[in-house]
Amino acid sequence: MIELTGLSRRYVLGGETIRALDAIDETIRSGEHLAVMGPSGSGKSTLLNVIGCLDRPTSGSYRLDGREVAGLADHDLARLRRREIGYVFQAFHLIPRMTALENVELGMLFDGVARNERRERAVAALERVGMGARAHHRPGELSGGERQRAAIARAVVMRPRILLADEPTGNLDQASGRAVLELLDALHEQGLTVIVVTHDPGVARRAQRVLVLRDGRIVRRMPAVELRSLDEALAGAVP
């Protein structure tokens, strides 16, 4: 379970304080499929980065299964990120000179997993996302959808409990995007907590619940099936 209490993230730019997140209070249940929406600059990606331990809150509490995360030392935070959290980015972030298989193996190398086990688990992860036959191709030899599937394999190879996805279909055509979303749905059905940042109501409706952010605050919580558009969701938001 993820528990956020009074969570804030502030930046100082040009002498001005920017409140990227402002006193966020939220509980995300284990095994939940959650979508996060909001206009540009609302704090969606910042929230995902804090949950994913890629950024630290300025103030407030972030507890994961009862353990306070915000104050962990850098090496403990890195270990938690590698072992508990998978991250899927819009831009894939695959290393061009490495094959899909080598990209998937990389995180396990940093965690000290033995070579034979790395290879076995990477192959299994690629097969899990339908990429077994493309394991030895480099990113430049893969389609956008295939690159995102390889990125998802990399995200789940450490067997995380939480999968975070930041606009995972933003660089994909409609057919490839649909295939990636079906894969995320399947991973959720297998027990992963899935949190997706998206601007697309069609993507958000695949979740169980939607958080709507504006100016760093959660202004609306709603069942995903009730979502029609971001504008409509914001119109019904708490000021």
The domain spans of the chain are 31-56+74-235
- Enter the pTM of the model: 0.93
* pLDDT in the model for residue 230: 86
* 186 pLDDT higher than 80: yes
Q: Using only C-alpha atoms, what is the Rg of the chain?
A: 18
Smallest Cα–Cα separation from 133: which of 100, 105, 178, 179?
A: 100
CB atoms within 10 A of CB 117: 11
Cβ contacts of 38 within 8 Å, gap of 6 or more = 44, 212, 213, 214, 230
CATH number for 31-56+74-235: choose from 3.30.1280.10, 3.50.50.60, 3.40.50.300, 3.30.70.120: 3.40.50.300
pLDDT at 235 (0 to 100): 87
pLDDT reported for residue 197: 96
Give the pLDDT confidence score for residue 130 in this predicted structure. Answer: 92
